[in-house]
Chains A and B, each alone.
Chain A
Amino acid sequence: MKRQEAINTIMETISSQDVVISTTGLISREIFEKFDSERNIYVPGSMGLASSIGLGLAMVQPTMRIVVIDGDASLLMNLGSIVTIGNKKPTNLLHIVLDNEAYASCSEERSMSDTAYLDKLAHNVGYQYVRAVRCQEDLKRAIMEFRQGPGFILTKIELGGRRDFRRPLELAAIKNRFMLFLKRSTKGGLTS
């Protein structure tokens, strides 16, 4: 499965009401270019924090489903985050890791995810739903079968693919439209 195929499958399978938090580099840039929406938050800097942002959001908006689209090197950079997620157990958080075993957004230098068994780690720290997939069909099924999280879908992808995507630049505007989307989706009522 290519990155492009994994991203297409995720974005076409999740509900239009789901929030998407995507990690640094090509993953965010591809989603921004092809699937930009008010329900998206891109994490262009602060590599590694997508899952932490997803956790904070999932804890304070328990009626929304939060989908984090992470990368293997990005997850490894903030690995403690899965311990916190496994401990807090937000049932509405689905953490999808696109794993090409590399820093693909840099120059495809190898990461260490091939020896990390990220799905086993996620299971051990308390994720309630863990799947490992290698093809679009299985990825789609894993997303559709997700009921109660925290969920973790380790998605093996190939290196390569387009690199010339635009960058999300107007971050404050992206934040403002996101917060309006959330307000509308939760009927203006803040959950506490």
Chain B
Amino acid sequence: MNQTNKSVFNVLDDKRSEKADQLHKVFRELGVNFASGVPCGVLRHIIKNFDNDVAVLHVIANRESEAVGIAAGAYLGGKVPVVYMQNSGLFSASNDIASLLVPYKMPIFFVVSYRGCEGEDAVQHLTTGQATEHLLKSFGLPFVVFEDQKLETLIRLMFATMREAELPTFLLLKRGWHR
């Protein structure tokens, strides 16, 4: 465990991320035009890109469950939504994913920051961190942990699988993913 608060993760920086920009570009090419979620620092570049794009209707939610509901409504209305949250919130929203999106067969793409991995400096993330992949596996939902694969190919493949299976699908992003 890191005992100081001087890690690179505890600094706000406004620099753009090439990877986040690539991700946004491929989202737009795949038709994404709606976003809802609860902010996480790990996802800040992605959130800023949603905010700065007039073609994406972006609604910040108070809790992750609410974001799932808002995105489900947008999906029913014909939009292509992305939902974002931290994995801690994935546990809060897990029943909403399982009891709304799965039985209604709503293929909604989730970007989830993956705290509680190796090198984590915050104890509150350790339990959910070690359980995150198990949760998604036990629900039978598709997910990929981003390990510097080619983003465009990966996201296109994930969307194709998601649309075929009509299931919510999850991209897990660890701290520092955007560098």
Residues of chain A touching chain B, judged by Cβ–Cβ distance below 8 Å, are 21, 41, 43-46, 48-61, 78, 80-81, 83-84, 88, 171-172, 174-175, 178-179, 182-183, 190, 192
Q: How far is the CB of B97 from chain A (nearest CB, A)?
A: 9
The reply to whether B77 and A182 contact each other, CB–CB distance below 8 Å, is yes
Pick from B34, B59, B75, B106: contact of A88, CB below 8 A: B59
The reply to whether B100 and A56 contact each other, CB–CB distance below 8 Å, is no
Q: How far is the CB of B110 from chain A (nearest CB, A)?
A: 15
B71 located at the interface, meaning its Cβ lies under 8 Å from any Cβ of chain A in the complex: yes
Q: How far is the CB of A70 from chain B (nearest CB, A)?
A: 12
The reply to whether B78 and A46 contact each other, CB–CB distance below 8 Å, is no
B103 located at the interface, meaning its Cβ lies under 8 Å from any Cβ of chain A in the complex: yes
B41 located at the interface, meaning its Cβ lies under 8 Å from any Cβ of chain A in the complex: no
The reply to whether B106 and A175 contact each other, CB–CB distance below 8 Å, is yes
Given the contacts A44-B99, A192-B33, A60 and B104 also touching, CB distance less than 8 Å:
no
B98-135 residues at the A interface, CB under 8 angstroms: 98-100, 103-106
The reply to whether A60 and B74 contact each other, CB–CB distance below 8 Å, is yes
B70-102 residues at the A interface, CB under 8 angstroms: 70-79, 81, 95-96, 98-100
Pick from B62, B71, B73: contact of A54, CB below 8 A: B73
Q: What is the bound-complex CA distance between A178 and B76, given in angstroms?
A: 8
Residues of chain B touching chain A, judged by Cβ–Cβ distance below 8 Å, are 33-34, 36, 55, 57, 59, 61-63, 65-66, 68-79, 81, 95-96, 98-100, 103-106, 166
The reply to whether A57 and B98 contact each other, CB–CB distance below 8 Å, is no
Q: Apart from A52-B65, A55-B70, what 11 extra A-B contacts exist at CB < 8 Å?
A: A45-B99, A46-B65, A53-B72, A55-B69, A55-B73, A56-B69, A56-B81, A60-B34, A88-B59, A174-B104, A192-B33
Q: How far is the CB of A181 from chain B (nearest CB, A)?
A: 10
Pick from A78, A81, A84, A182: contact of B76, CB below 8 A: A182
